[in-house]
Chain A
Amino acid sequence: MSSEAFNPNPTIFVPTKSKTAAAFLRSNSLWLDDGERHGDAEDYEEDSDEVEEIDQDEIFELIRSISDPEHRSMTLEQLAVVSAPQISFDSADAQRQSRRVTVEFTPTVPHCGMSTFIGLSIRVRLLRSLPNRFKVDIRVKPGSHQSEHALNKQLNDKERVAAALENPALLEVLEQCLAGATP
């Protein structure tokens, strides 16, 4: 990897709040939940057949902790490369089978040579973590990168993604980034 950093002093953003506040609401009951004090801490509602759909937040949860290849101690979220609102579902297929997701990301500088790698790491994480019926499009935010078109094409080309993963050196760095930031 080049020794010259593409962006040696990037701006840091405060991470968006995780929605812990909603924990109260989710129980959706009149009663304050005191399950943690009785028996096991994990109290699953065994009998509920309610299906919890995969949503924007759950997908964001999967990619927020990936570390930046140039600044290993920082996550993509801290550098605002990814964010929850940049994940969208194709509204056309509201039915359950085969859903299309678009994940957009923003390189920190327009000449960032790491963008392909960042896109690839998002791609791999989602390949491993989403059910097969999800089709994922990964693209850079329009206007945020000088070779936007080529990047988008490369990231959504199955053959090229597969070829990249054949490279053991690349795969090793990729696994490190996927393992998350080490502050």
Chain B
Amino acid sequence: MSEERIERLVRTWIATEQQEEVDAAVAELSSGNASLLPLVKALGEYLTSEEDDQRTKGVEFLSSVLARFPREKLNRQSVRVLVTFYCGKLEDTETIIPALKGLVALVAAPTFTSTDAVEVVRALFRHVKMKVLIQAQRFLVFTIIDTLLANHREAFKGMVKEFLDGYIAIAEGEKDPRNLLLAFAIARVILIEFDISAHVEDLFNITFCYFPITFRPPPDDPYGITSDDLKNALRACLNATPSFGPWAIPLFLEKVTAGSPVTKRDTLQTLDACLPVYGASMARTHARKLWNTLKLEIFQPTDPETEAKALKSTQILIQTIYANGADGDSQEIEGLAKEACEECLRILKEPEKSQAKPATKVLCAFMSTTPSVARFTLSQAIPHFVRLFLDPDEAPNRAPTLRLLSDVVAAARDSTLKDLEVLDEDEEVPLSPYKDEVLGVFSVGLKNSVTCKHALEGLRNLVTTHGLLSDEELGFIVHSVNEILLKEGMEDDDIGEGILELFIAISTTAPRHVTETTLPLLFSSLPDRAPPRSADADRLRVWHILAFLKKLCIQSDLFEMFVVRLSTKLDLVCTPRTAAEGEESDVEPSAAYAHSILRTLADVLAIKVDKEHPDVAKYIDRLLPRLYHLHIYSALSAEESQAIATDERLVAVSAEIITLIMQVQTAQKQDAFIQSLFAAYFEGQASQIADGQPKLPADNSFKPFEPQVDPLQKHLVPLFSAAVVALRKEVAFPTENEGTVLHSLLLWSLDEAQTSLQRDACNHAIGSVVNKRAEGLSSFLSEELDTFWSANIADTSVPAERRRNAISAWIWIAKALLIRRHSTAMSYAERLFVLFDDTEVSWDAARAIGQIVRADKVLTKRNHAVIKILYAQKFFNALLPRIVEGAKAPGDPRRQNAYLVALTSLIKAIPKTTYAHELPTLMPLLLRGLELPDPEIRANVIDTFLVTADPDAKEKSAISEHATSLVHTMLKNSMVSQQPSVRLRVSALRYLAKLPSLVRYDVLHPQKATVVRELAKALDDPKKAVRKEAVEARTNWFKFSG
């Protein structure tokens, strides 16, 4: 019954060739007794038909079924029959292709035996002519051999000669990358597993003929074979057997010498893979030739990448040659390492020459080869450099000598870094035997300003060598460097930098030496009183020391000392001095000195917060009370002229410090602090947050928010808001209604605040609370703000200044809501459009549109602000249509301009990706923006053009059609005669410099002469910064050609 069905299926398939019949036949056969014989029987007439077409189809169907037939169900008998059958069909040119398909499936069957394998392979070798097959068919042949080789390797080992002859004939001349990947895999197995002694040359020919691979995949290659896939597969063949060595090495040498840079690198990399396999004696035989070729790539490098690869290959060569050099054996090094080393040292007799650098690189490379070669190289190189350094005739060349010695020390250090784990504790660091002389040479080098920089670098390399220097020696280094620290270290930037790096390296392991000797030295050279106004040199020195401390004192031990010493210094500087008789008191230098100390503190803190150092948190108790005390005491002290710490510039920096320290506190700590802060600012209990000497007056007179208070106290409001902006969102104000506090802050900023710093501080605090705690503020956000809008912004009878300030506050509230994507945020922004007709504040309202969405430093993740992604996108998409429409609408030019201002400020404020797709629409409007009288707006527009300039999108960009007018506008804006704003001139010139890369030459060509001529005027600009840009722009236009 089943046989009938099969017969029917066969007939149908022969007629239609549909996949369904194949599937049905597979299902039928595998459900039955799982023998393929019924099928063969049914196919009988076709398989033996006289008609070619019928035979092909018959075999095709059988193979298709076989391919889908479950392999484990194929019984031994079927396999046997099929093997004989298919081998027979290979002879027949009409059936060879379907037969190959069948064999692919058949050879993978578990019941397929080694005898079958030999039979199949013989048939393949005898009948298959690769040259007449297409790629896909050749692929089948390789697949069959690959499978056979994987499963029946041993059987072929018995017929090595026959197998290899046959396979070589098959593989020869293959070109398709897909087939090659298989062929390389097969070749690797053969090369490793088989006795190839009689066939080395043939195998060499069918593998090395592909080297180097120059294949580049077609643009949308569906097979995804990369050049690297092929390179790696081929490399795995080339290094599969040492027998290739004698042929391969000359070939490699030729390719390195004559190839393109890519070929050179590929060859060097392949050489690296092959040399260790080819073995030490092979490497030794070719050592001289290899070295000569590699040397050329190192001493006259094509490019840095090839140079690095050549150095790497040199290392492999040395490693290969000396691999069995019995480590720990003190035998003299002979051969290449010795010769090459001596060659380099000969060159290094002139350390100042340009060839000295590559020679040192070679020596450094030797350091990471074998321990014995490394020891030998060190024993040659270090005494050489030390001798050179000490030779009086070579004195002028001490600087390059030290630089090269320092490189060698670094290489010696890095050679042990890698195997730190295997290095025993008691095993000697390679540099140890030379430690004293090297340390001595570098110490001498410190004393001379020319060699100092390199000596410092060398010392740093010694210090960072694991396990080399003793604690005493580190102390000695610190001591020696301290001697030059205050003079050369502060006068020469390079030396200062070198000292810093050295100290930073020492502090990571032994901070004690630096805190005990260096820091006291530095702090004691900071004066307790500010240098007077005229003492420029002293002031410069102070700044240098502070700049140095700023970079040095980041490590926690050092920082602790730094905070203690600097806050003491601050107290001294800010304490009013009892002016000596007849001396005119000048507080500004003191204030400026205090400011620079605070600035330094703030900068170091910022770095530490960035690096998430845990010790920052404790300074809420150690530093903040002293800071608040400093300022509050100053504000309360009687004499206004002496109140140094109430200077706004100082307050601004202290505010930064407070915010930085508050950011890292836990909610609990913040909660406690905010209670004290409120007590201090609203209830007169300043001592709650301030602590220090001399004591604050006990009369509770610190009330900065009260009306009619001493204006000095108002200066300290920013210190209140500095703490508030860093609060976490779960921390509440210690008050019943936060809205009331915000409202009173809002009014204080309009009614009482005297400076923009005070107003901004209030706005920041309000914005921060609104952002984090909007849920509990509904009444403030609706009713109170409504009243605020109509009373202070919409009302045209209110003075313009007050309206502007109110708009600033409005911006911060809108911004706070926008970044958390609060549902009402847009309505706050949209209200501003009403003001675009206003005679006084229209531009302020327009600028506000951009300011709302602009990123700022207050509402940040660090300050625990609630930020939802894509808020800028949403804002832009919602407002853009309205702005574009407004700018295009006919009518009042004032309103139109306000829309243009809004557009420029909006675009300046948001990331490029947000608006890039709208650029073609926006271009004409932005170009109109360039005609507005305000130089800042024009500079903003040009900056937008600069940001969006994309040289890769030359054809698509909207710039080309406006190119001519852009050129003229930019030229106009870059001339000092027409444009007083430096920023605008710089921006315009930068854009001019970029234009040649943005627009095709044929478009801009007519402008070239004009631009070059006009820019000659800009070269004579009174400002250096402008001239620099003009040079750049003019150079680019000169170079601009078709």
A131 with B1019: CB separation less than 8 A: yes
Query: A46: which of B493, B540, B588, B982 is its contact (CB, 8 Å)?
Result: B982
Contacts of B599 in A (CB 8 A): 32, 34
- Determine whether A20 belongs to the interface, using a CB cutoff of 8 Å to chain B: yes
B982 with A32: CB separation less than 8 A: no
- Determine whether A158 belongs to the interface, using a CB cutoff of 8 Å to chain B: no
Contacts of B596 in A (CB 8 A): 31-32
A30 with B1016: CB separation less than 8 A: no
A131 with B1020: CB separation less than 8 A: yes
Contacts of A54 in B (CB 8 A): 1027
Query: B492: which of A14, A17, A52 is its contact (CB, 8 Å)?
Result: A17
Contacts of A128 in B (CB 8 A): 1031, 1034-1035, 1038
- Determine whether B592 belongs to the interface, using a CB cutoff of 8 Å to chain A: yes
* In the complex with contacts A25-B536, A31-B592, A31-B649, A62-B355 CB distance below 8 A: no
Whole-angstrom distance between the alpha carbons of A131 and B1013 in the complex? 11
- Determine whether B629 belongs to the interface, using a CB cutoff of 8 Å to chain A: no
B1019 with A34: CB separation less than 8 A: no
**Stretch among A4-12, A87-95, A114-122, A141-149 lining the B interface:** A4-12
A21 with B491: CB separation less than 8 A: yes
B993-1038 residues at the A interface, CB under 8 angstroms: 1016-1017, 1019-1020, 1022-1025, 1027, 1031, 1034-1035, 1038
Query: B1020: which of A10, A49, A133 is its contact (CB, 8 Å)?
Result: A133
A74 with B1027: CB separation less than 8 A: no
Whole-angstrom distance between the alpha carbons of A71 and B354 in the complex? 10
Whole-angstrom distance between the alpha carbons of A52 and B1022 in the complex? 5
B949-984 residues at the A interface, CB under 8 angstroms: 980-983
Contacts of B1022 in A (CB 8 A): 49-52
Whole-angstrom distance between the alpha carbons of A130 and B539 in the complex? 36
Query: B1039: which of A10, A129, A175 is its contact (CB, 8 Å)?
Result: A175
Query: A42: which of B492, B653, B986, B1038 is its contact (CB, 8 Å)?
Result: B986
- Determine whether B494 belongs to the interface, using a CB cutoff of 8 Å to chain A: yes
* In the complex with contacts A20-B493, A32-B543, A14-B1020 CB distance below 8 A: no
B interface: dominant SS: helix
Whole-angstrom distance between the alpha carbons of A9 and B348 in the complex? 12
Contacts of A62 in B (CB 8 A): 1031
CB of A159 to closest CB in B, whole Å: 20
Contacts of A17 in B (CB 8 A): 492-494
B561-592 residues at the A interface, CB under 8 angstroms: 588-589, 592
A14 with B399: CB separation less than 8 A: yes
- Determine whether B533 belongs to the interface, using a CB cutoff of 8 Å to chain A: yes
- Determine whether B626 belongs to the interface, using a CB cutoff of 8 Å to chain A: no
Contacts of A50 in B (CB 8 A): 1022
- Determine whether A102 belongs to the interface, using a CB cutoff of 8 Å to chain B: no
- Determine whether A58 belongs to the interface, using a CB cutoff of 8 Å to chain B: yes
* In the complex with contacts A32-B592, A32-B599, A58-B1027, A11-B353 CB distance below 8 A: yes
Contacts of A81 in B (CB 8 A): none
CB of B718 to closest CB in A, whole Å: 14
Contacts of B986 in A (CB 8 A): 42, 44
* In the complex with contacts A25-B540, A46-B981, A132-B1024 CB distance below 8 A: no
B589 with A11: CB separation less than 8 A: no
Contacts of B352 in A (CB 8 A): 11-12
- Determine whether B400 belongs to the interface, using a CB cutoff of 8 Å to chain A: yes
A17-46 residues at the B interface, CB under 8 angstroms: 17, 20-21, 24-25, 29-32, 34, 42, 44-46
Query: A12: which of B353, B588, B1020 is its contact (CB, 8 Å)?
Result: B353
B1031 with A42: CB separation less than 8 A: no
Contacts of A32 in B (CB 8 A): 543, 546, 592, 595-596, 599
Contacts of A49 in B (CB 8 A): 1022
Interface size on A, residues (CB 8 A): 37
- Determine whether A138 belongs to the interface, using a CB cutoff of 8 Å to chain B: no
- Determine whether B304 belongs to the interface, using a CB cutoff of 8 Å to chain A: yes
Contacts of A29 in B (CB 8 A): 592
B354 with A11: CB separation less than 8 A: yes
A129 with B1035: CB separation less than 8 A: yes
- Chain A CB count within 10 A is highest, among B357, B491, B1031, for B1031
CB of B874 to closest CB in A, whole Å: 26
B981 with A34: CB separation less than 8 A: no
Contacts of A71 in B (CB 8 A): 354
- Chain A CB count within 10 A is highest, among B357, B546, B983, for B983
Whole-angstrom distance between the alpha carbons of A133 and B1016 in the complex? 10
B353 with A30: CB separation less than 8 A: no
- Chain B CB count within 10 A is highest, among A12, A25, A183, for A12
Contacts of A82 in B (CB 8 A): none
Whole-angstrom distance between the alpha carbons of A30 and B399 in the complex? 37
- Chain B CB count within 10 A is highest, among A9, A17, A34, A42, for A34
Contact string against A for B residues 428-453, beta-carbon threshold 8 Å, 1 for contact and 0 otherwise: 00000000000000000000001000
Query: A21: which of B493, B589, B1019 is its contact (CB, 8 Å)?
Result: B493
A129 with B592: CB separation less than 8 A: no
Contacts of A140 in B (CB 8 A): none
* In the complex with contacts A17-B492, A46-B981, A58-B1024 CB distance below 8 A: yes
Contacts of B1016 in A (CB 8 A): 131-132
Contacts of A103 in B (CB 8 A): none
Contacts of A178 in B (CB 8 A): 1035
Query: A10: which of B354, B1017, B1031 is its contact (CB, 8 Å)?
Result: B354
Contacts of B450 in A (CB 8 A): 14
B304 with A183: CB separation less than 8 A: yes
CB of A59 to closest CB in B, whole Å: 11
Closest to B1020 in A: A131
Whole-angstrom distance between the alpha carbons of A163 and B59 in the complex? 80
CB of A55 to closest CB in B, whole Å: 9
Closest to B450 in A: A14
CB of A84 to closest CB in B, whole Å: 16
Whole-angstrom distance between the alpha carbons of A12 and B404 in the complex? 13
Contact string against B for A residues 94-122, beta-carbon threshold 8 Å, 1 for contact and 0 otherwise: 00000000000000000000000000000
Whole-angstrom distance between the alpha carbons of A12 and B491 in the complex? 25
Query: B540: which of A11, A24, A131 is its contact (CB, 8 Å)?
Result: A24
Whole-angstrom distance between the alpha carbons of A29 and B539 in the complex? 10
A30 with B539: CB separation less than 8 A: yes
A130 with B1023: CB separation less than 8 A: no
Query: B354: which of A12, A34, A133 is its contact (CB, 8 Å)?
Result: A12
Contacts of B491 in A (CB 8 A): 21
Contact string against A for B residues 587-626, beta-carbon threshold 8 Å, 1 for contact and 0 otherwise: 0110010011001000000000000000000000000000
CB of A138 to closest CB in B, whole Å: 18
Contacts of A133 in B (CB 8 A): 1020
B452-481 residues at the A interface, CB under 8 angstroms: none
Closest to B649 in A: A31
A129 with B1031: CB separation less than 8 A: yes
Whole-angstrom distance between the alpha carbons of A62 and B1019 in the complex? 12
B1023 with A52: CB separation less than 8 A: yes
A52 with B1024: CB separation less than 8 A: yes
Which A residues are within 8 Å of any B CB, using their own CB?
9-12, 14, 17, 20-21, 24-25, 29-32, 34, 42, 44-46, 49-52, 54, 58, 62, 71, 74, 128-133, 175, 178, 183
Closest 10 CB pairs of A and B: A131-B1020, A30-B592, A44-B982, A32-B596, A51-B1022, A129-B1031, A131-B1019, A52-B1024, A9-B353, A9-B355
Which B residues are within 8 Å of any A CB, using their own CB?
304, 350, 352-355, 357, 399-400, 450, 491-494, 533, 536, 539-540, 543-544, 546, 588-589, 592, 595-596, 599, 649, 653, 980-983, 986, 1016-1017, 1019-1020, 1022-1025, 1027, 1031, 1034-1035, 1038-1039
Can you name 15 A-B residue pairings with CB atoms under 8 Å? A9-B353, A11-B354, A21-B491, A24-B540, A30-B539, A31-B649, A32-B543, A44-B986, A46-B981, A49-B1022, A51-B1022, A128-B1031, A128-B1034, A128-B1035, A129-B1034
Beyond contacts A31-B596, A31-B649: 16 other A-B pairs, Cβ-Cβ < 8 A, are: A11-B352, A11-B354, A12-B352, A12-B353, A17-B492, A25-B536, A29-B592, A30-B592, A31-B592, A34-B599, A44-B1023, A46-B980, A51-B1022, A52-B1023, A52-B1024, A175-B1039
